[in-house]
A and B are shown apart, each in its own frame.
Chain A
């Protein structure tokens, strides 16, 4: 199983995402934003960071990168595609996911271990979670406020396309505490928090058991492997 991780100018978490893919049991394949080539990968991750310095809007310029033409075609053909933080912003800017991300309502960059509820465990990136699973993974963003018009929110909520919801604290003013969504088909998922930073004991969030032992993010990556194996 080969999972492509696309590096854009300003990507920060591409190597972390590659590591998460490897720890989940797949082969990470480094892809470059300026190419028109997905190198035959089975799934795609758009990692976090500050593509093109977040000029214009977060993810807006990256959404027009050469490789995004291939990403859009692959997503529409059913390939599992995950956008994390800046990657989520790119998927929204590319209209592969609904809504948009705006500056946090309190105006500050925020960095914390964030509780989430997995609201939909039938997507390509969440099928390895138990129904109603509550997880903790790191969150770090300045423009993570998810918004959409009322009709879109009703559709997302009604169709089960809200995939992750903030628990305890809404860190950025997102409507309905929405932390992540999917497309209708469930193969494209975007979320603001960072599952790739919670995949290996010693490097993740603190848990009741031990410091930095949280690995709740790993199931997001193993889910894609399971989804591909079941095709």
Chain B
């Protein structure tokens, strides 16, 4: 069955406290080259049957209205996994 993958990231201009905490942990482990970590979300939607343009448009709506909050996040990709 095909899978639609939606990725959502915190807006680039915003503080990402999760990412900041992980960046700090990497530095405590001795890393000196990673300057920033940002953490987003990946949604995998398993689909019965074929992925149509209509379904992708529907998923775009879900991505914009529920998976992400446009005040704080961006939908960065919607793709059909092979």
Which A residues lie at the B interface, using CB under 8 A?
56-57, 60-61, 64, 92-93, 98-100, 102-107, 145, 147-149, 173
In the complex, the answer to whether B14 meets A64 with C-beta atoms within 8 Å is: no
B1 at the interface (CB under 8 A from A): no
CB of A19, distance to nearest CB on chain B (Å): 31
Asked whether B71 lies within 8 Å of A173 as measured between CB atoms, the reply is no
Question: Can you name 10 A-B residue pairings with CB atoms under 8 Å?
Answer: A64-B66, A92-B71, A98-B71, A102-B17, A102-B72, A103-B17, A103-B18, A107-B18, A107-B20, A145-B15
B51 within 8 A of A: no
| Chain A residues within 8 Å of B18, by CB | 103, 107
Task: State whether A147 touches B14 (Cβ < 8 A).
Answer: yes
B69 within 8 A of A: yes
User: Whole-angstrom distance between the alpha carbons of A98 and B72 in the complex?
Assistant: 11
Whether, in the assembled complex, B21 has its beta carbon less than 8 Å from a beta carbon of chain A, the answer is yes
Contact of B72 among A56, A104, A105, A147 (CB under 8 A): A147
**One of B20, B21, B67, B71 near A147 (C-beta < 8 A):** B71
What is the bound-complex CA distance between A118 and B33, given in angstroms? 46
Contact at A173–B66, with CB atoms within 8 Å? no
